[in-house]
Amino acid sequence: MNSKTLEKQSLLAFALVFGLSFGAARIWGAQESTFDWLAASAESARLDPADYHTGRVFKPGDQAGNVHIDIDAQEPVTVEMAPAEEWSETVRHPELLPRVSFRCVREHVTKTTYLCDVAPGRPMTLVLRDERSSERTAVTGFGAPLSEHGTVREFISPNDIHIQYYRWACVENCNPPRYQWISELKETYELTSAPKSYDGIRAERDGEPFSVKVNSPVPMTVAIVPSRVAEELLGKPDSLDSGLDGRSCMQRSVRSAAFECTFNLADGPQSFVAVPEAASKVPGNKKAEVEVAASKCVANCLTDLEK
């Protein structure tokens, strides 16, 4: 074997060892994420005998997820999950209660960690029921007042309940959510004195930022308001100016402006409203440009159960 062949084989061996070492280093460095249950929101309720409490709605999306909740009650309760639509209808029409298809029913609960597998694509509502009979009586005070008929009227102690929700979240080697500005609205329209409105704006998470830009030849009032408020204001154009007073996401007397607002899931559907200032003379054949963008998650996004 000549020296050139030996040198070539040595280089190949070195390259192979280096490649394997580099690959192992990358695999070692890219450690798997570790997940655990972390405390999220909490709520308290006070129930009378046989009363129901409606907790939060769980929306697992396209993949099934687990519900993990700590419950602490002074008196026994039944904990269960109901399809969100069924329970919403039952709240309005109590006679439908026997038809509700409850899942993950746990009875006689005073202190427990409640678990339930939520099926994909079907929102479920947490429901708690006080197990005491509404006909039961118990004295809770030092004295009992007399009723109109002179008999002793006894009070029943309320059932104080604390509910601690948990979310399944990354605790080690985490990839944080990545956000990007996504256009919700971009429009150039012919300017008139009439207000302009655009629907379909909605936050996908709490504290979601929205960016608003406007360019106009005349001073404008621009705002993002709840869609129901926008409908009311557009139905009464004369009250539009006063109806926008005090709105958090609003700018007055702007020709060229850019500003940001934040909205939460509970804020519901929003509408963009733009109208020339009342004192402005609107020129003919002029256009205004409006743009709304939202900071949306585009990678490593949290599911509804993780939020």
CATH number at residue 141: 2.60.120.680
> Same domain, yes or no, for 121 and 139?
yes
Instruction: Note whether residue 27 is domain-resident.
Output: no
Instruction: Note whether residue 8 is domain-resident.
Output: no
**Domain carrying residue 130:** 34-172
Whole-angstrom distance, CA of residue 248 vs CA of residue 280: 23
- Cβ neighbours of residue 37 under 8 Å, at least 6 residues apart? 68, 166, 167, 168, 169
> Same domain, yes or no, for 192 and 290?
yes
> Same domain, yes or no, for 191 and 152?
no
Instruction: Note whether residue 184 is domain-resident.
Output: yes
> Same domain, yes or no, for 74 and 129?
yes
- Cβ neighbours of residue 43 under 8 Å, at least 6 residues apart? 55, 56, 162, 163, 165
> Same domain, yes or no, for 254 and 133?
no
User: What's residue 246's pLDDT?
Assistant: 77
User: What's residue 25's pLDDT?
Assistant: 40
Last residue of a domain, one of 137, 172, 207: 172
Instruction: Note whether residue 23 is domain-resident.
Output: no
User: What's residue 134's pLDDT?
Assistant: 80
Enumerate the β-bridge partners of residue 273: 197, 223
> Same domain, yes or no, for 127 and 199?
no
Whole-angstrom distance, CA of residue 75 vs CA of residue 108: 9
- Per the structure, the count of domains in the chain is 2
Instruction: Note whether residue 193 is domain-resident.
Output: yes
Instruction: Note whether residue 304 is domain-resident.
Output: no
Last residue of a domain, one of 172, 197, 221: 172
Instruction: Note whether residue 281 is domain-resident.
Output: yes
- Cβ neighbours of residue 225 under 8 Å, at least 6 residues apart? 233, 244, 247, 249, 250, 270, 271, 273
> Same domain, yes or no, for 138 and 265?
no
Last residue of a domain, one of 150, 172, 194: 172
> Same domain, yes or no, for 89 and 186?
no
> Same domain, yes or no, for 139 and 211?
no
Whole-angstrom distance, CA of residue 181 vs CA of residue 38: 29
Instruction: Show pLDDT as tens, one digit a residue, over the chain (307 residues).
Output: 555 554 555 555 555 544 544 444 444 445 788 889 999 999 999 999 999 999 999 987 655 578 999 999 999 999 999 999 999 999 999 999 999 999 999 999 999 999 999 888 889 999 999 999 887 544 333 333 344 444 444 567 899 999 999 988 888 888 888 999 999 999 999 998 888 999 999 999 889 999 999 999 999 999 999 998 888 888 877 777 677 777 889 998 899 999 999 999 889 999 999 988 877 788 888 899 999 999 999 988 876 555 5
- Cβ neighbours of residue 125 under 8 Å, at least 6 residues apart? 54, 55, 56, 57, 58, 81, 82, 83, 84, 87, 88
> Same domain, yes or no, for 55 and 104?
yes
> Same domain, yes or no, for 293 and 250?
yes
Instruction: Note whether residue 54 is domain-resident.
Output: yes
CATH number at residue 192: 2.60.120.530
How many CB atoms are closer than 10 A to CB 158? 16
How many residues comprise the chain? 307
User: What's residue 190's pLDDT?
Assistant: 92
Contact 244, 250 (CB under 8 A): yes
The reported pTM is: 0.51
Contact 102, 124 (CB under 8 A): no
> Same domain, yes or no, for 40 and 168?
yes
Specify burial of residue 252 (Cβ count, 10 A radius: 0-12, 13-18, 19+).
middle
